[in-house]
Each structure stands twice: as structure tokens, then as C-alpha cells.
Amino acid sequence: DAKTTQPNSMESNEEEPVHLPCNHSTISGTDYIHWYRQLPSQGPEYVIHGLTSNVNNRMASLAIAEDRKSSTLILHRATLRDAAVYYCILRGGGADGLTFGKGTHLIIQP
């Protein structure tokens, strides 16, 4: 899987939007962009994924740059329960296991 780059940590205030960036300059044409998060003492949780177009679901939105070399996960209104490590992962060419990087540790201040 191609490599992704994320900030080590970000901090935001409760009830404000959060934009989590991810760079993936070596993405190939068939790579999907997936986001997972891991809350403390829990297993990872699927958040959202996309290929080229922006995507929305009940948890978040995913904005994908036109050249696909970067993407942004958007939490529209952060709550304390959104404090977690967020992982941006590229998946291409099949059904192999996920390659987790270090992710972004999101801290939410009340």
C-alpha cells in the first residue's frame, strides 16, 4: 500500500469542526482512501472511505483533492467522544490487510 503522512496530533474544542489532513502523494489510480479511528482501549472503527468524489456519512465527511494527492477528514461538530487516534489508509489492488501508520492523535477540549 502507498504511504500516507498525517500530523502526529491535533487539538480542537468541543462542538467545533475538525479538519484532519492526510497526504498521499504516491497514490495510484486504483487506491481507495480509508479512514479508521481507534478510541482508547477499543478496536479500530471504520469511519469513511472514498475514491475520487467527496463522501458524506453519519460520522464524517471526506474531502478528496482533485489530484488525489491529499484528503481531509471532516468532523462537523466534535464531541469529547471523538477523541481518538485517526488513521488514513490507502487500499489498492485487492483485499490485503490494512497498513496502519502512526495516525493523528485528536484531542478534544471541553
Partner 1 sequence: NAGVMQNPRHLVRRRGQEARLRCSPMKGHSHVYWYRQLPEEGLKFMVYLQKENIIDESGMPKERFSAEFPKEGPSILRIQQVVRGDSAAYFCASSRNSLYSNQPQHFGDGTRLSIL
Name the site residues for partner 1 (rule: CB under 8 A): 30-32, 34, 38, 42-46, 49, 51, 91-103
Complex with partner 1: residue 2 or 63, whichever CB lies closer: 2
Residue 44, C-beta contacts closer than 8 angstroms, at least 6 positions apart: 36, 37, 38, 87, 100
What minimum distance in Å lies between the beta carbon of 8 and partner 1? 12
What minimum distance in Å lies between the beta carbon of 84 and partner 1? 13
Question: How many Cα atoms occupy the beta-carbon half-sphere of 76 within 13 Å?
Answer: 7
Nearest partner of 106 among 7, 4, 9, judged by Cα: 9
What minimum distance in Å lies between the beta carbon of 2 and partner 1? 12
Complex with partner 1: residue 40 or 110, whichever CB lies closer: 40
Q: How far is CA 22 from the centre of its chain?
A: 7
